Amino acid sequence: MNKSIKVVDTILRDAAQSLIATRMTTKEMEGALDLIDSAGYYAVECWGGATFDTCMRYLNEDPWERLRTFRKGLKNTKTQMLLRGQNVLGYKNYPDDFVELFVAKSIENGIDIIRIFDALNDTRNLETAMKATKKYGGHAQAAICYTTGPVFTLDYFTKLTKEMEELGADSICIKDMAGLLTPDRSFKLVQAMRKVTDLPIEVHSHTTAGTASMSLLKGVEAGADIIDTALSPLGGGTSHPATETMHISLSEMGYDTGLDLEVLQKLAEYFAPIRDKYVNEGVLNIKMLQVEPKALVYQVPGGMLSNLLSQLTQQGRPDLYEPVLKEVPNVRADLGYPPLVTPMSQMVGTQATMNVLMGERYKLVPKEVKDYVKGLYGQPPAPISDEIRTKMIGNAEVMTDRPADHLDPILPKLREETAGLARTDEDVLSYGSFPEVAKDFLQNKYA
C-alpha cells in the first residue's frame, strides 16, 4: 500500500510573504479558491504571519474579511494560519486575555489549524495560545523553530517535542524558516522526533539555500506525515519547493499525495500572470529567486536577506550588505543563539546593521534588543555572557519567569480606547495588534 503524505500549500501566505512581501490582494486569491479546493490539499496556509498587518497597511483590506472569504471558498480544504505564540501577530508579548480572544475569533471566522511558534522555542510562550486553540475547537500545531548552533542538538529538539506534546499539541511542525535543513539533518531530526512522539510531524523549509526539496524528501523517508510546498509561480528562491515538483517526485517514489496534477497545472496558469505583475511592478526582486548557499553559512532566513538589502539600499549603503551579513552570526552568538524568526530576525538584523554602521559593536542598542536581554521575550536558548549583558543593559534586572505573567489584562483598556471606532471584537483585536495602522484603516472603513 502506498504511504500517504499530506500536502499544505503556502501560496496564499508564506510563499507570497517570502517573494512578494505579502502584497497579493484578496481579489487575486479569491479567483483561485474553487480550484484550490479541488486540488486535494490537506490544508492551505492562508492567514497570519505578516498578512494581517499588510492587509490594513498596504492593501486597505480587512484581514478578518479576507479570512471569511477563504472560509466561504474552501469547503473541503482546511485553512491554516501562523501565530507567534504570545506575540500573536505582532512583535511583542500580549496579555493572555488578548491572546485567547484572538485565537477564539480566528477559529470563529474560519481557521481550522493554528501553527503556533515562539521565536525562542520557549514553550511557556505557547501555553495560552495552545490552550485557547483546543478550547475553541481548533487543531493546535506546535512549531519548533529549527536553527543551528552549538546548543541545537538532537536532544534539544526531542526535549522540545516532548514538551509540546505535554502541552496538548495535535501535531508538530519543524519550522525551518531560514532553509538551514540539509537532507541529512532533516532525516536525522525527523527520525529522532519519531522515536519520542506518535503525533503527526510536518516539515516546513524554505528553498533559500537550495536544499529544501531534498530535505522534505528525506524527512518523508524518515517518517514525516505532512510537507509544506508552494505552487510553482511562487515556489523556489526564498519560498518553498514547488508543489507540482514534489507531487511528481513523491508519486514516483510510491507515495500518495492525494493531489490532482491537472488541477495544480491550472492553478499554476492562474497564478503565473499575477506573479508577472509583481515582477513588472518591481515587488518581486530577482535576488529572491536566486539560490543563496550563504544562508547555510550566515544562518539568515530569506525574508531577512531581502529586508536587509532593501533597508541598506534605502539608506544609500547597499555596499554594507556583505559586512552586515557577516556580523549577523556574531550578534546571534552574543545573544544566546536565538532562532532567526520574527521578531528575533529583525532584532538581530538591526543590531548587526548598527554595529557595522557605527564601526563599533553595541555602541547603540535598540530598546527591543535591551528588552530581549532583560528576559522580556522569554529565555534565550543559550546563556548570554555577563560581559555582553552588562554592555547592553548595565545592571538592570533580568526576568526569569514567563514574561506574560507580568502583563495585566488589556481588553477593557482597548475597548475603551476604540469606543466609537471599533464596531466588533475583530476591530478591537486589529487595533490591539497594530494601533496606528488599524486606527487609520477603521476610520476609512466606517467613514
What is the per-residue pLDDT across 306-326, written as a single tens digit (0 to 9) for each?
778 878 888 899 899 999 989
Torsional sign, CA 379, 159, 88, 238: positive
Residues 425 and 101: their CA atoms lie apart, in Å, by 8
Task: State which H helix or E strand residue 245 sits in.
Answer: helix 243-252
Task: State residue 295's pLDDT score.
Answer: 80
Residue type, 192: A
Q: Say if residue 2's pLDDT is above 80.
A: no
Write the CA distances from 346 to 18, 142, 214, integer angstroms.
Answer: 15, 22, 28
DSSP class of residue 362 equals T
Residues 10 and 15: their CA atoms lie apart, in Å, by 5
Task: State residue 1's pLDDT score.
Answer: 46
Which CATH number is 287-401 given?
Answer: 1.10.472.90
- Three-state secondary structure call for residue 282: coil
Per DSSP, helices labelled H in 291-337 are 294-298, 302-314, 321-334
How confident is the model over 154-160, as a mean pLDDT? Answer: 98
CATH fold for domain 3-280: TIM Barrel (3.20.20)
| Averaged pLDDT score across all residues of the chain | 94
Residues 32 and 10: their CA atoms lie apart, in Å, by 13
DSSP class of residue 2 equals P
Question: pTM surpassing 0.85?
Answer: yes
- In 185-298, DSSP assigns E strands to 201-205, 226-229, 255-256
Burial class (CB in 10 A: 0-12, 13-18, 19+), 120: buried
Query: Are 304 and 347 a contacting pair, CB within 8 Å?
Result: no
Give the pLDDT band (50/70/90) at residue 298.
Answer: confident
Residues 71 and 361: their CA atoms lie apart, in Å, by 49
Task: State residue 302's pLDDT score.
Answer: 64
Residues 122 and 79: their CA atoms lie apart, in Å, by 26
Cis check: omega of the bond before 343, within 30 degrees of 0? yes
Map out the domains of the chain as residue ranges. Answer: 3-280, 287-401, 410-445
